[in-house]
Amino acid sequence: LSPSLSRHLAEPFLEIHPRDAAALGLSPASLARVSGAQGDALLRVLVTDRVAAGQPFVPMHWSAETAASGRINSAIPALVDAVSGQPALKSSPAAIRPFGAVWYGFAISQAPIRPDCEYWAVSALAGGYQAELAGLHEPDDWTAFAKHLFSLTSDPLAVHDRRRGLARLAFAGNGRVQAALFVSGEPVALSRHHVAAALGCDMDANLLAGRPGVHQPDEGAIVCACATVGMNSLVRAITTQGLVTLDAVGKALGAGANCGSCRPEISNLLTRLGDPDLPKPGNGFDAD
């Protein structure tokens, strides 16, 4: 119901320290199965030093309506404080292991999507819906898979590269984009904001590139939902305008100047861009 918030965080995720990720064989943007005493959850991997080694974190805000298995609450014991009733949500042991997906996908659609694969997470867009997908078995026919996913019968504009495990398909109705599916053998790398903005627009074969043209700036993953400011815009402004404080970023872009929930992330970005020894956005740091 909230496209602006979905652009910020569109799927359930696991924050894990780089040392733990390396020990467990988890790479950025891959998937991991987190198992607790009561069950498990399947989550996107976010490798970050925002959490301490040995203390991974998973937010509880996804339901069965928006993700196949993103409910971390279902994996932890139903323990509560005897006096207050406060649940012990922050201190449950868990086992974490890689999820061996053989394909990953990203989809957009004007109509609601209800995927049929091992991993999916659906979120709202201004003009429809988007979905992150992954599976353990590759379909024999990606065109048939896409038609079933979108409940469409027309043939798509398509590009296939079987050697690289790539498939990209876009469907049009009355010359306008109805849906599109991007598939890869590894986490799909493209501009989700750019692709999502194509819904309802005139069909253009360049959509299958998954990225804007060289002279079209890409907002990137949304950091400030209030002002709709993306990671790429923040990086450009900080590096070209010499911004070094949160207040300076707020004055230049409006980011972090309203509810303030994005200020820690912007502060972290300022630190990383100012330190040559720290990883920069685009190196497993940003989410788009």
Pairing outcome for strands 157-161 and 166-173: antiparallel
Q: Is 70 exceeded by the pLDDT of residue 271?
A: yes
Give 6's contacts (C-beta < 8 A, 6+ positions apart).
123, 124, 125, 130
If you ran DSSP here, which 8-state letter would residue 203 be given? Answer: P
Looking at residue 287, its pLDDT comes to 42
Looking at residue 214, its pLDDT comes to 61
- Using alpha carbons, select from 205, 189, 192 the residue that is nearest to residue 156: 205
69 by Cβ neighbours in 10 Å (0-12 / 13-18 / 19+) ranks as: buried
Q: Is 50 exceeded by the pLDDT of residue 286?
A: no
Tokens of 33: 């199965």
pLDDT, tens digit, 9 for 90 and up, residues 100-124? 999 999 999 999 998 999 999 999 9
Looking at residue 288, its pLDDT comes to 47
Distances (CA, A) of 218 to 67, 103, 249: 27, 26, 18
Highest mean pLDDT out of 33-42, 73-82, 144-153, 201-210: 144-153
% of the chain surpassing 70 pLDDT: 91
Cα 136 from Cα 150, distance rounded (Å): 20
Neighbouring C-beta atoms of residue 106, cutoff 10 Å: 23
Domain 222-274, CATH among 1.10.10.1100, 3.40.1280.10, 3.40.605.10, 1.20.1250.20: 1.10.10.1100
The identity of residue 268, as a single letter, is N
Cα 172 from Cα 108, distance rounded (Å): 12
Provide the CA 63 distance to its chain's centre, in angstroms.
16
Q: What secondary structure does DSSP assign to 231-257, as a single string?
A: HHHHHHHHHHHT--SHHHHHHHH-TTS
**Tokens 């798509």 sit at which residue?**
156
Provide the strand spans (E) within the chain: 13-16, 31-35, 40-47, 95-98, 103-109, 119-125, 128-135, 157-161, 166-173, 176-184, 222-224, 229-230
- Using alpha carbons, select from 100, 107, 101, 75 the residue that is nearest to residue 88: 75
Q: How many residues does the chain have?
A: 288
Tokens of 83: 């006096």
Q: Is 60 exceeded by the pLDDT of residue 283?
A: no
Question: 238 versus 275: which is more confidently predicted?
Answer: 238
The identity of residue 135, as a single letter, is G
Per-residue pLDDT band for 217 (boundaries 50, 70, 90) equals: low
> Max alpha carbon distance in the chain (Å)?
62
CA–CA–CA angle 229, 218, 59 (5° rounding): 50
- Range name among 25-29, 54-58, 84-88, 206-210 with the lowest pLDDT average: 84-88
Average the pLDDT over 232-239 and give the result.
88
Looking at residue 212, its pLDDT comes to 79
Q: Is 90 exceeded by the pLDDT of residue 65?
A: no
Cα 274 from Cα 233, distance rounded (Å): 16
Looking at residue 83, its pLDDT comes to 93
Question: 38 versus 145: which is more confidently predicted?
Answer: 145
Tokens of 82: 């005897």
pLDDT, tens digit, 9 for 90 and up, residues 168-198? 999 999 999 999 999 999 999 998 888 998 9
Cα 45 from Cα 34, distance rounded (Å): 11
**Contact call for residues 125 and 201 (beta carbons, < 8 A):** no
Looking at residue 110, its pLDDT comes to 97
Question: 202 versus 88: which is more confidently predicted?
Answer: 202
Looking at residue 281, its pLDDT comes to 60
pLDDT, tens digit, 9 for 90 and up, residues 194-207? 899 899 999 988 89
Fold adopted by 10-84+94-98: Barwin-like endoglucanases (2.40.40)
Q: Is 90 exceeded by the pLDDT of residue 224?
A: no
Per-residue pLDDT band for 165 (boundaries 50, 70, 90) equals: confident
Domain positions in the chain are 10-84+94-98, 103-209, 222-274
Instruction: Share the mean pLDDT of the chain.
Output: 88
